[in-house]
């Protein structure tokens, strides 16, 4: 892994305004839910449960009390960043070349951010270290969602049906299916009387929906672990968004990455992209995880 990017080996970088669009195109979590801006200091999302059904009231009749339950989930943004050193020849390059460099860097950052959102929100880990993050704590699918389905490779369709039943049995709706490639592959191979049941998943395809259900196939779902798929109300019961974005910063002085190497002394500049984002699983019971059995 190269620690310093020299001008001769630059990947095409650029500062673009559609960072969020790129993220939504590559993150399963972002693709199946909707991003909404959140305050820098966080926000509190409320969920209401009506305890009774609506009541018919006769003319001049008495109105009864239905009852209501109120719960809330706090969404606090956390700061993430990505930076890299480049040769200070970047500063003397033409404006067109600089723009190309910044565009490519920003696009690369969007890809890392998309993957990072999934790793953080699903697994609760720091994407760089792969270790559990104290900052994230229990705010992730693996710790909050307790409804699990044992993965059966020979009948993944049944796994989905069982997961859907769990979510609906908890009063939830199913709006999305996030799958690991292994699960998608198992579905694509399912046959009844010699006829493939999910031909749209053949050859590693990633359709936008299956049987009318929004879906996405992504390596981040399993990330080397037991998860095979997540089923639930991504559209209504998962919230995420940016509180603040600093798309790009060009640092000319000092030692911003703590390597002990002064930028000026090594004829380098430092490119850094940052974002503040938060998420919340509003109702964990409205999700179910299909997992491989422990060996």
Q: Is residue 13 part of a domain?
A: yes
Mean pLDDT of 161-168: 98
- Tokens describing residue 89: 């020849």
pLDDT at residue 163, rounded to an integer: 98
pLDDT at residue 71, rounded to an integer: 64
Q: Is residue 106 part of a domain?
A: yes
- Tokens describing residue 271: 């490119």
Q: Is residue 108 part of a domain?
A: yes
* Residue that wins the pLDDT comparison between 241 and 148: 148
pLDDT in tens, 216-259: 999 999 999 999 999 999 999 999 988 766 677 889 999 999 99
Residue 152: band (very low, low, confident or very high) from pLDDT cuts 50, 70, 90? very high
Mean pLDDT of 102-130: 90
Q: Is residue 58 part of a domain?
A: no
Q: Is residue 122 part of a domain?
A: yes
pLDDT at residue 250, rounded to an integer: 86
Mean pLDDT of 79-86: 89
- Tokens describing residue 166: 């769990």
Question: pTM value?
Answer: 0.84
Mean pLDDT of 155-177: 97
Rounded CA-CA distance 16/37 in Å is: 18
Domain count, the chain: 1
pLDDT in tens, 44-81: 665 556 666 776 776 666 666 666 665 667 778 899 99
Whether residue 286 contacts residue 167, with contact meaning beta carbons closer than 8 Å, is answered with yes
pLDDT at residue 62, rounded to an integer: 67
pLDDT at residue 130, rounded to an integer: 95
Q: Is residue 62 part of a domain?
A: no
What's the domain range around 45? Answer: 4-50+69-291
Provide CB contacts within 8 A for 208, sequence distance 6+.
214, 215
Lowest average pLDDT, out of 23-37, 64-78, 187-201, 202-216, goes to 64-78
* Residue that wins the pLDDT comparison between 49 and 127: 127
- Tokens describing residue 172: 């939830």
* Residue that wins the pLDDT comparison between 36 and 295: 36
pLDDT at residue 256, rounded to an integer: 92
Rounded CA-CA distance 194/101 in Å is: 52
Q: Is residue 261 part of a domain?
A: yes
Mean pLDDT of 271-294: 91
pLDDT at residue 25, rounded to an integer: 74
Q: Residue 6 pLDDT > 50, yes or no?
A: yes
Q: Is residue 136 part of a domain?
A: yes
Rounded CA-CA distance 208/214 in Å is: 6
pLDDT at residue 189, rounded to an integer: 95
User: What CATH number does residue 155 fall under?
Assistant: 3.90.1690
Q: What are the start-end ranges of the E strands in the chain?
A: 4-5, 43-50, 68-75, 78-87, 148-150, 176-179, 191-192, 195-196, 209-210, 213-217, 227-232, 238-251, 268-281, 287-291
């Amino acid at each position: 892994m190269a620690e310093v990017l020299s001008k001769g080996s630059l990947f095409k970088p650029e500062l673009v305004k559609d960072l969020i669009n790129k993220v939504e195109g590559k993150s399963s979590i972002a693709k199946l839910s909707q991003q909404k801006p959140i305050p820098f200091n966080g926000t509190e999302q409320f969920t209401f449960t009506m305890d009774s059904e609506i009541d018919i009231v006769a003319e001049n009749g008495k109105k009864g009390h239905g009852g209501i339950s109120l719960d809330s989930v706090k969404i606090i943004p956390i700061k993430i960043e990505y930076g890299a050193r480049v040769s200070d020849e970047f500063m003397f390059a033409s404006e067109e070349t600089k723009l190309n460099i910044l565009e490519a860097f920003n696009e690369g950052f969007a890809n890392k951010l998309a993957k990072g959102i999934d790793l953080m929100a699903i697994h609760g880990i720091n994407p760089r270290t792969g270790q559990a993050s104290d900052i994230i704590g229990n705010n992730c699918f693996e710790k909050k969602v307790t409804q699990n389905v044992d993965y059966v490779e020979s009948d993944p369709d049944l796994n989905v049906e069982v997961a859907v039943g769990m979510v609906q049995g908890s009063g939830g709706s199913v709006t999305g299916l996030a799958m690991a490639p292994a699960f998608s592959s198992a579905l694509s191979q399912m046959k009844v009387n010699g006829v493939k049941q999910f031909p749209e998943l053949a050859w590693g395809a990633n359709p936008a929906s299956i049987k009318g259900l929004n879906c996405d196939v992504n390596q981040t779902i399993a990330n080397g672990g037991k998860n095979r798929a997540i089923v639930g109300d991504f559209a209504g019961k998962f919230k995420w968004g940016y509180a603040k974005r600093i798309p790009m910063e060009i640092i000319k002085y000092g030692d911003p990455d703590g390597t002990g190497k002064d930028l000026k002394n090594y004829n380098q500049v430092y490119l850094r992209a940052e974002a503040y984002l938060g998420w919340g699983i509003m109702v964990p019971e409205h999700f179910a995880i299909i997992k491989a059995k422990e060996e």
